Structure 1
Amino acid sequence: MSDEISGRGDPLKSLQLLWGRAEAPRRGPKAKASVAELVSAAVAIADAEGLEAVSTRRVADAVGISPMSFYTHIPGKAELLDLMMDAVAGEVLKDRPVFKPAQWRANLTRVATEHRNVYLAHPWVIQLGTHRTVLGPNTFQSADIALSAVEGLGLTDIEMDRVITLVLDYVHGAVRNAAREKRVKELTGMTDEQWWYRVAPFLETVDFTPYPVLARVGKTTGETYGAHDPEGAFAFGLARLLDGLTVFIEAKAVKRKR
């Protein structure tokens, strides 16, 4: 497992690249590849093989330039990772919706679902992202759209930020195992169903008398949705989260009317 994280490189160099303000080389032949092409190649490698497969050499080879030429565009892998994070952030709600305050539950459901979809498409994002936000234009756009989902509800700016943080933290936690499912299959050589089939004969020899509730619930869930049900679990948890926010938001509305 890689210990790479976003925000590990020179933050100012990353910002200059993210916002297109990096100085172009003063000498030498015209560049054969753009920063965007390098980032796109790196994302494709990470999607296909995992974050561990991303290296400056692999990315350079993918776009047909020498490893040394890579560094005329991007200082190093740390800054490349920041660019990758911002690139995939641009996939979240890229067709900016017009949210209606009265439909805030549907708004937040869409925000949560689209973030989940990005995690599933790019599982390495969960591994790479930290609390130090990549301060790029796509990340800013994604955050602005998410906040607009609760605009006009009478919440304070702090409350808006807390609500979106709560929802996105839920998504991050809820999607983690589902996003790693493909990688686990690759590393173990077994699907979840195959893994359970392998361990089932042993479990049948275990005395579950000390665990009566687990035995009953486990049997029911196994018969209902098999090995696991990430989509159902996500939908259930999100609905309960929104139920809690309903109480909070409705209470705020009552106070405003007094």
Structure 2
Amino acid sequence: MREHSGGGDPARSLALLWRKQNPRPVRNGKQNLSVDRIMLAAIEVADADGLGSLSMRRVAEKLGVGTMSLYTYIPGKGELIDLMLDTVYGETDKPEHAPGTPWRTKLEQVARENWALYHRHPWILQAGVSRPPLGPNVTAKYEYELHAIDGIGLTHIEMDTALNLVIGHAETAARRDIDASATEKDSGMTDDQWWQANEPLLSKLADYTEFPLASAVGQAVGSTYGTAYDATHNFEFGLQRILDGIEVLVSSR
């Protein structure tokens, strides 16, 4: 089953996210448990082995405590995931830009911060976030990112949509990049090695003369990047084209 934010009790998640519910630390052997210790241990588990490996039992083992002791602090896995997401979203850098900084520069910074966030915590891409945890870090991130395009002539709806477009592009490119790295690790071969190993068979069986344009473009990409898809190039190229489109809209006002 796919994990997603908002999968727990919303009232209890929000109380934890905004720290309206914070039991006193309880000494358990040599361990002092708290909401933050449990949540940080859960992030370490997900960073190492993915969201599919996360369970209350696995977190308890990492902390060296009994599983049931975690439920004194966090009701269950659904609320824990909300806490994890809100915490890592709080990692994005939020520098104060000098007055007069172009909006494109600020929006580029937003895109790169999200690109970096997905690479630090790939498990975010394994979680459905259509119902984001409305905690303080998620809210602060959204507020900061909106300021990148505040006052440039977009409506509130257009601001939200433009921001989603930029962050969605970073997410898609990061997902392809992370998937490619996982494939290389699992197979023990780089993309370039895989293509070199399979090119003789492809050349023998495929008639590329039927697809001259696909053949020419594919060969150009392969010779340039050593792969059929270079995520970094596509991220950079796509980001600039998205910003170009927003600029056209802004200039038309």
TM over 0.5: yes
CA contact (8 A) 2:97 2:106 kept: no
- Unaligned 5+ residue runs, structure 2? none
Q: Deviations over 1:51-103 (max 9, x none)?
A: 1111111111112221010111111111111111111101112x433364650
After superposition, the CA RMSD in angstroms is 2.1
- The yes-or-no answer on 1:114 pairing with 2:113 is yes
The residue aligned with 2:232 is: 231
CA contact (8 A) 1:101 1:150 kept: no
Write the distance in 2 (CA, Å) between the matches of 1:100 and 1:171: 26
Q: What amino acid does structure 2 have at the position aligned with 1:76?
A: G
TM-score (norm 2): 0.90
Q: Deviations over 1:126-169 (max 9, x none)?
A: 11032111101111111011001012213232222222122122
Q: What amino acid does structure 1 have at the position aligned with 2:78?
A: A
Q: What amino acid does structure 2 have at the position aligned with 1:178?
A: D
Q: Deviations over 1:173-196 (max 9, x none)?
A: 222211233333444444433433
TM-score (norm 1): 0.89
Q: Indicate how the Cα distance of structure 1 residues 160 and 84 shifts in structure 2: closer, same or farther if over 3 A, else same.
A: same
CA contact (8 A) 2:173 2:232 kept: no
- The yes-or-no answer on 1:157 pairing with 2:147 is no
Percentage identity across paired residues of the two chains: 41
Q: Indicate how the Cα distance of structure 1 residues 25 and 106 shifts in structure 2: closer, same or farther if over 3 A, else same.
A: closer
Task: Map residues 54-133 of structure 1 onto 2, 5 A cutoff.
Answer: 54-93=54-93, 95-98=94-97, 100=99, 102-133=101-132
Q: Deviations over 1:202-229 (max 9, x none)?
A: 2121211111111111111111111132
Q: What amino acid does structure 2 have at the position aligned with 1:140?
A: T
Q: Indicate how the Cα distance of structure 1 residues 4 and 166 shifts in structure 2: closer, same or farther if over 3 A, else same.
A: same
The residue aligned with 2:252 is: 251
Q: CA deviation at 1:104?
A: 0.6
CA contact (8 A) 2:191 2:226 kept: no
CA contact (8 A) 1:85 1:129 kept: no
CA contact (8 A) 1:123 1:180 kept: no
Write the distance in 1 (CA, Å) between the matches of 2:72 and 2:197: 51
